[in-house]
Structure formats: C-alpha cells, structure tokens
Structure 1
Amino acid sequence: MAEVLYWISTFVLILTHLCILGYELLLLVDLEFDYINPYDSTSQINQVVVPEFIVQGILCFVNLIAGHWLIFFISLPSLYYNVRSYSRREHLADVTEIYNKLNSERKKLLFKVAYLVAVFVIAVVRLIDSMQCGKSHGESKYELISMEEGTCEKLQKDWFS
C-alpha cells in the first residue's frame, strides 16, 4: 500500500509541477504577443515561482524518504538550481527587464518542462518495472509461475489453500 501511495504522490507532484510550468510559459507567450501587460505578467509569474520551488522540494524529499534513488538523484540538480536562484534572489521576474529576458526565460521554462517529462517517463518505467512479474514488494495478489522468452505468466494465488 505504501508503494502505491508513493507512486500516486509522485505522479501528482510531477503533474502539478508541469501545470505550474505550463502556466508560466503561457504567461510568457501572452506577454510576447501583447495579450497581457508586463506588470500583470510578472506579478502572476512571481506568485507561482515559490510554489513551483516547494513542489520540487517535496518531490525530492518524497523520493529520498521512499528510497527511490534514481528519481531523487535526477531531481536533485533542479532542486539545487531552484535553491541557488532563490538564495541569490534571481527567482523573481522584473517588470523592467521582462522583455529583455523573454527568450532566455522561455528557454529555461522549456528546458524545465522537458526535464520533468523525462522524470515522468522514468517514473512510469520504474512503476511498470516494480509491478511487473510480481515484484511489487509482496503486495501483489499474483505470483510468478514461469518466465519464458521475456514474457511473464501470472496466476492468481489460491486463497483457500
């Protein structure tokens, strides 16, 4: 049950982080096409930057506690970058510089989105790997019967014997 709770929380955190990044990217695109003024854009971006950092920190902490080292170590550089930019006060968008930094901010957000999609794919692969062939730490009601040519045949346990 703990493994299922871990995977659900990981997917929710990754999808939440992707939604926040998508919102920031949408605001930058709206600013580029003059659908929104710079003041509104920067104030809305600045409102979601700290929650984005918090979600990334929680994702790393959950993977550290759960012992899923691959996802933890893959997520660690992003957490380091967020902590470094927060400590240097570089995380906030400036109204006067937003047009000058528009391309670099968009590239940074697209890199973060691609990075999180890769983490999501790795998490899905790890989930499938842990559930495949009854490897889910004894929580499965299936047991492995035979493994032939890379395929698994499973049979439900007889609960009456």
Structure 2
Amino acid sequence: MWNMLKWLLFFFIHIAILVIVIYQLVCFADLEFDYINPYDSAYRINNMVLPEFITQGVLCALYLVTGHWMMFLLAVPYLYYNMRLYTRKQHLVDVTEIFNQLNGAKKQRLFKTGYLVLLLFITLFWTIYNALEEDEM
C-alpha cells in the first residue's frame, strides 16, 4: 500500500511542476499576443521560477530517499539544468529584455514541458502497475 501512495505522491508532484511550467508558457503567450504588459508578465513568470525549482528538487530528493534510482536518474538532468540556470543567474526573466528573449524562453519552456510529460507518463505507468500489483494480492 505504501508503494502505491508513494507513486501517487510522485504523480501529483509531477502534475504541480507541469502546471507551473504551462502557466509560464501561458504568460509568454499572453505577452506575445499583447494581452498583458511586460512588467506583469515578468513578475508572474519570475514568481513561479523558484517554486518550480524547489518542487523539482523535492521530487528528486524523494526519489533518492525512497530508493527509486531509475526515476531519480531520469529526473536529475532537469534538476541539473535548473540548478545551472540558477547558479548562472539566468533563471529570471528581465523586463527590459523580455521581448528579445521571448522565442528562446518559450522554446525552453516547451522543452521542459515535453520532458515533464515524458516523466509524467512513466510515473503514471508505475502508479497503475503498483495499483494492479496490489490488487492481485
């Protein structure tokens, strides 16, 4: 039963990270179509960056503590990329340069979204597998 609860927790954490990244994409799309001004868009995006990084770090730590080594190894590149952005101070969106960075930032978030969807499907598979395995017992 505990294994199933762990996988459900991992699943919901992945959903939370995915929602944060999609929210950032929506903010960029709103800026591109001129529904929102650059100051509000940068403020909203920058407020979501650190929670995304922290949630990903917690997820990797949970994988490590619970002994799910393969999922930890699959999640580490994303965490490493986020840590690299943070240490180089490239994680925040600059208000004055937001239009110049728009296409690159959108591509970056789209790549993150694709990677997170892949990890989400793997987590969903293991959640269903553990539910069926416990159902047989």
TM-score interval w.r.t. the shorter chain? over 0.9
Alpha-carbon RMSD: 1.3
Larger RCO (alpha carbons 8 Å, 6+ apart): 2
2:136 partner letter = Y
Alignment partner, residue 35 of structure 2: 35
Residue 42 of structure 1 and its aligned partner are, at CA, apart by 0.4
Cα deviation, residue 142, structure 1: 3.2
Contact 2:49/2:91, CA 8 A, preserved across alignment: yes
Task: Name the counterpart of 2:4.
Answer: 4
1:78 aligns with 2:72: no
Amino acid at match of 1:14: H
Aligned length: 137
Quick one: which amino acid aligns to residue 89 of structure 1? K
Give the equivalent residue in structure 1 for 2:59. Answer: 59
The yes-or-no answer on 1:142 pairing with 2:132 is: no
In 1, the alpha carbon distance for the partners of 2:21 and 2:30 equals 14
1:141–1:102 Cα change, 3 Å: closer
**Percent sequence identity over matched residues?**
46
**Normalized per residue, which structure has more strand?**
1
Q: Distance in 2 between matches of 1:124 and 1:3?
A: 13
The reply to whether residue 17 of structure 1 matches residue 2 of structure 2 is no
Counterpart of 1:155?
none
Q: Are residues 142 and 95 of structure 1, via their aligned partners in 2, closer, same or farther at CA, if it must alter by over 3 Å?
A: same
User: 1:101 corresponds to which letter in structure 2?
Assistant: Q
Any gaps of 5 or more consecutive residues in structure 1? Answer: 135-139, 144-161
User: Displacement of 1:12 after TM fit?
Assistant: 1.0
> In the alignment, which residue of structure 1 is the partner of 2:26?
26
Q: Secondary structure at the match of 2:36?
A: coil
SS at match of 2:94: coil
Larger Rg: 1
Gaps of 5+ in 2: none
Mapping for residues 110-129 of structure 1, pairs under 5 Å: 110-129=110-129
Shift of 1:141: 5.8
| Structure 1, 66-75 or 29-38: larger mean CA deviation | 66-75
Shift, 1:71, TM fit: 1.2
Which whole-Å CA distance do the structure 2 matches of 1:92 and 1:109 have between them? 13
> What stretches of structure 1 move > 6 A for 4+ residues in a row?
none
